Amino acid sequence: MLKITGALAAVTLLATTALAGATEATLWVRTSSAAVLEGLAERYNAARPDKVTVTAITAEQMVPKLGAALAGGTPPDGAVLDLIYLPTFAANEGLEDITDFVKSRPYAEAMSPSHIRLATYEDRIYGVPALPDASIIAYNTDLFEKAGLDPAKAPASLNEIAESAKKIAALGNETYGFYFVANSGSWLIYDFLPHLWAADADILSEDGREATVDTPAMRETIAAYRDMWKAGAIHPTSRSGNGNNAVEAFASGKVGILMTGSYIVNLLDSKYPDVKFQVAPIPGPTGGASSFAGGDTLALMAGVDEEKKRVLLDFVDFYMEPENQVYATKESGMPARTDLAKEAYASFDPRNLVAYDVLAQAHTPYTFASDELFVSRTGPFVNLIQGAIFGEDVDGAIATAQGEFTRILERTNP
């Protein structure tokens, strides 16, 4: 009896010690990413004594709520947020420097380059990719064939897109050649800016501190869009819509080319299996290819407790494992590593690989004022697109945008 009691006491002591040694780390995530990150956390928690607790925050509230928590001294241990906000939080000393961790990982070279660039401030790294996505074009192969175009050959330049769009629109019967979302800055940085990047140009300098709006690539891109608009080849709701009906318009068989994202392949497969389509990278005016690297980056809050830091970095290693990258791909559409195509997409539509492959060439605007410059419905980027493509004064629209960009940057640059 004494031996049994002693054994039970030893087991209880071991269990108590294990529980006492376990650490719980908190992680805020956007609601759009919550399901897959909660799933990854459950898998992590089941395999380790330490725990990662995920709290979903609406996308609109994430940045102000996280900023207020940091200012008030009550932040979470880490956050998974839109990568475009990383420079701002890093410049304001809100994030933990994890440079040594990132550079020491065996998968360091496989992490999305744009996510690492946006997480870098003054040569230090403050985040790692969590759930990336990329922008591409989708085109209706039936409409291509009806318009006398080769459905097996994707447009290799924006100028080819414009010519294809006009031929498709000429089919009549309320058929349009092209659809993009011109009234949303979030959409426009996603699918308009890649034309510039594909031409080795940009709307901002490399460090995000200067505006470079007026470039040949910008003028050539605007010219191609104006050409399509004047020819009646652009779907009319492109000008004023918010993107909610973009997929439905394409799936109706009345739109030839859609500016879209990596999610489109699996979405069309599941909801609109009868649509015949292909996807391709977004080209520049005369060639090249690029994409917007979007999605989420995981960052630790500045001054995080060392044990909680250990847990969250261990969680990064965990979700970067191939089997968990496969799980993330199944749940969200794209893995954070660019070296796992075979494993991640083995059971998926191979057209997913187009977006996956272009992620290594993708860009994201590096800026400390993304909302004011790009996201705002009354901001200079949306006004540029509306004025230059649908208005009559291209030079004036470009000059105004350059001036407004410069004014905002001078005020917000750290």
Domains and CATH numbers, the chain: 21-133+293-361 (3.40.190.10), 134-292+367-412 (3.40.190.10)
Per-residue confidence (pLDDT) for residue 331, from 0 to 100 = 86
> 100 pLDDT exceeds 50?
yes
Neighbours of 413 (CB within 10 A): 14
Question: For residue 300, which of 92, 107, 46, 97 has the smallest C-alpha distance?
Answer: 97
Model confidence at 16, pLDDT cuts 50, 70, 90, reads very low
Per-residue confidence (pLDDT) for residue 342, from 0 to 100 = 84
Q: Are 256 and 149 in contact (CB under 8 A)?
A: no
> 14 pLDDT exceeds 80?
no
Q: Percentage of the chain surpassing pLDDT 70?
A: 95
Q: What is the mean pLDDT of residues 119-125?
A: 98
> 2 pLDDT exceeds 60?
no
> 409 pLDDT exceeds 80?
yes
Q: How far apart are CA 42 and CA 34, in angstroms?
A: 12
Per-residue confidence (pLDDT) for residue 17, from 0 to 100 = 38
Question: For residue 130, which of 296, 320, 274, 265 has the smallest C-alpha distance?
Answer: 296
Per-residue confidence (pLDDT) for residue 341, from 0 to 100 = 83
Convert the pLDDT of each residue in 287-337 to its tens digit: 999 999 999 999 999 999 999 999 999 999 999 999 999 999 988 878 999
> 62 pLDDT exceeds 60?
yes
Model confidence at 18, pLDDT cuts 50, 70, 90, reads very low
Kind and range of the H or E run holding 259: strand 255-261
Tokens of 134: 């990329």
Mean model confidence pLDDT for the chain:
93
> 3 pLDDT exceeds 50?
no
Q: What is the mean pLDDT of residues 175-186?
A: 96
Average the pLDDT over each of 164-178, 226-240, 346-360 and give the range with the smallest value.
346-360
**pTM to 2 decimals?**
0.90
Three-class secondary structure of residue 405 per DSSP: helix
Q: Are 328 and 131 in contact (CB under 8 A)?
A: yes
Collect all residues with Cβ–Cβ distance below 8 Å to 333 and sequence separation of at least 6: 133, 262, 263, 266, 352
> 27 pLDDT exceeds 80?
yes
Identify how many contiguous H helices and E strands the chain contains and give both numbers: 20, 10
Model confidence at 243, pLDDT cuts 50, 70, 90, reads confident
> 242 pLDDT exceeds 50?
yes
